[in-house]
Structure 1
Amino acid sequence: MEERLTELSCEEFTERLAARESVPGGGGAAALVGALGIALCSMAGAFTAGKPRFAAVEDRVLRLMDEAEDVRFRLLELVHEDAEGFSPLSEAYALPKDDPTRADAIERATGDACMAPLAMVGECCRAVALLEEMGACCSRLLISDVACGALLVRAALETASVNVYVNTSALTDRTVANRIESTCSELIDEYAPRAERLASEMTRRISERRKG
């Protein structure tokens, strides 16, 4: 796929998403939302770094920003990789039903299609951990952005998992399917609540500041 979906404007991307086209779809949307969430982690760092009152955590904040940018760029790449994974699957299903290679082609393409959303889940888990750490050391003026980032990443995490499960449900090799599903479910069970707790904690701190 030569076209880079992430090079579209916001308006163009959402128009494409709304159209009767297979890509971008839920997977691409999940990766983009995750990238937006972790971008807010970088933003919180950018407004904290360089401030004299945060000199003691300067190195920590800069490290978090570097790692957050790595996650952001990876998630943007996964928008493209998810779209690329659809073509082989579509081509496999388009083979004549009496073609002896059809079943194997579908199985192989379906297994491959699991990989991009599963990678999204992994990157979103990294994002949650980075947002947690940023929330503990950034300026209080930026904790609302950390909260927003956590909620966006949680949405991306759970959305990506749906795209894992829709593919594993079509696999005939249940041993492979169960292994992928187990990996995904374990990550969701750990990191989705962590993202929710982080957003709640940041919101509580905002509320206390308002009352104070």
Structure 2
Amino acid sequence: MLLSEYRIKEFVNELASKSPAPGGGSASALVGAIGTALVSMVSNLSCGKEKFKDKEGLLVEILEEARRIKESLINLIDKDAEAFNRVARAAKMPRTTEEEKKLKSEAMEQALKEATLVPLSVMEESFKALKLHEKALGNTTTAAISDIGVGIQCLKTALYGGWLNVKINLNSIKDEEFIKDVEKKASSILERGIRLADGLFKKVEEELEKK
């Protein structure tokens, strides 16, 4: 059974168990999916309302993109656990002979690279979802402004969570070019994403002060 098919209580209990997967990577993907779902909710609450008639096209656009991102992040919950399991399998490979050592090293390097690219994808998708919150803010019902705020914070957490999982895997990879490329991409997404999230959250707080 896929992790993404677990009931909420089952997933949380599995996360709390001594099993190393699911872990922080899957949790980050889930939090990102929740943050994306919230921008969908706010857009759905506004869609079809007379007050937002002139925003209908934008809202439909947000909903379509949010659906794609949400499904991608849900898929990444399972991909992260699968990637960890590949690393675990590589770690158990025999290394008695020189040939076995070589095969194990190659398998571990490949597994670690795959395990690094999954949280990088979580970061990429979460940043895209933050851009949807940016579009929704000011173009959706203010009655749900707090939900936008929660969505933003969920996505900020997903960004940080993805970053931490990228970093821990890069620490064990030998390919310097791969490390340099991924670290550059991830740090750029993190910097831009946190700046965007903090700016948007400030606007949410300012809007709440008016009420």
Do both proteins adopt the same fold according to a TM-score greater than 0.5, normalized to the shorter chain?
Answer: yes
Residue in 2 that maps onto 1:39: 37
**1:48-84 CA-partner distances (Å, limit 9, x unpaired):** 0011011010111111011111111110000011111
Q: Structure 2: how far apart are the matches of 1:81 and 1:19? A: 19
Letter in 2 for 1:32: L
Show CA shifts across 1:10-39 (max 9, x none): 111010000010211100000000000010
The reply on whether 1:58 has 2:56 as its aligned counterpart is yes
**CA distance in 2: counterparts of 1:182 and 1:155, whole angstroms:** 20
- AA aligned to 2:83 is G
- Structure 1: state its 5+ residue gaps: none
* Residues in 1 aligned to 2:60 and 2:208: alpha-carbon distance in whole angstroms: 24
Tell me the secondary structure at the aligned position of residue 163 of structure 1: helix
Aligned length: 207
2:172 matched to which residue of 1?
A: 170
Q: Which residue of 2 aligns with 1:184?
A: 186
1:48 and 1:138 in contact (8 A); partners too: yes
Q: Partner of 2:88 in structure 1?
A: 90
How does the TM-score come out when normalised to structure 1?
A: 0.95
Q: Does 1:77 align with 2:75?
A: yes
Partner Cα separation in structure 2 for residue 103 and residue 95 of structure 1 = 9
Query: Take 1:57 and 1:88, find their aligned partners in 2: how far apart are those partners?
Result: 46
Give the Cα separation in 2 of the matches to 1:91 and 1:24: 15
Cα separation, 2, equivalents of 1:175 and 1:102: 21
Q: What CA RMSD, in Å, does the superposition of the two structures yield over aligned residues? A: 0.9
Conserved in 1, the CA contact under 8 Å of 2:46 and 2:141?
yes
Partner Cα separation in structure 2 for residue 91 and residue 54 of structure 1: 53
Structure 2 gaps of 5+ residues are none
Which is worse superposed, 123-132 or 93-102? 93-102
Partner of 2:200 in structure 1?
198
Counterpart for residue 120 of structure 1: 122
